[in-house]
Homo-oligomer: A and B are copies of this chain.
């Protein structure tokens, strides 16, 4: 949960007056998004979300994110659609912070997705990948290999206090991934953080994808690996192969995966597990007294990493090409 910036009634009324959405009826901080301040905004024109971008989001990346949501929404993807004010501007300033109003998406985040819901996530991800193929923006993934090396330098030393052997596990894995990481897979814009918090459902129907603030250009199949880590492990740490198979089947119903992409799924899953292990470990070991957000435990991603280290091929994920056909 997070509402970092205090916005007064006068502030929001003056801000909303720049748009053609009528007067403010309701304005409430909501517990959604850990990087930014988010508010439910009801006006005479409907329901919206106001986001104030806090310091963990780089201001120079915001045009990429806002432009991406504009691009995807125009292609019919159910994602927040940035509102433009009377001068056509979507990215504005409020209380000294970059700020934007986006459309409100109905739906609920899931805790225990069904097989069908995992399939719907794979399908929606592929639709997003395809819709973004002609998006002209570019943003490098600063949380890929070189970013992991930087993070490890700042949090691996002494991490055995979190789990025995963790420092060596991280450094060995980094060394392995630096020599094994693929170089020539299909690329495009990926969400890069498509966890259950960021997908809304109304019943079995996927109603929207949110929180594009880690989106970047990278291997498309890496996004699938992120979501396998995010959706296909149970609370006790067990891998659910049926969920992975459903998610991948949903994906390839929209965009096919080449044999080369399928083959490196275990490797991409290792990298993605390391990415979340490192960011969570960093936040876990650098807790800010009085912070409003409790950091996630990194250990579940150490467990996922160990699972992927022992997966010899895509078959361990139920992803043999024949099984998906």
Contacts and interface: CB of A to CB of B under 8 A. Distances in A.
Report the copy number of this chain in the oligomer.
2
A28 B107 CA distance: 9
Interface string A35-49: 000001010000000
Nearest to A104: B26
Interface stretch (A1-9, A66-74, A79-87, A168-176): A1-9
A30 B8 CA distance: 16
B290 A27 contact: no
Interface in A2-33: 3, 8-10, 12-13, 23-32
A111 interface: yes
A108 B29 contact: no
Most buried by B among A1, A26, A202: A26
B9 A111 contact: yes
A106 interface: yes
A201 B24 CA distance: 10
Most buried by B among A31, A112, A202: A31
Contacts of A108: 9, 12-13, 24, 26-27
A253 interface: no
A292 interface: yes
Given A201-B9, A292-B292, A28 B26 contact: no
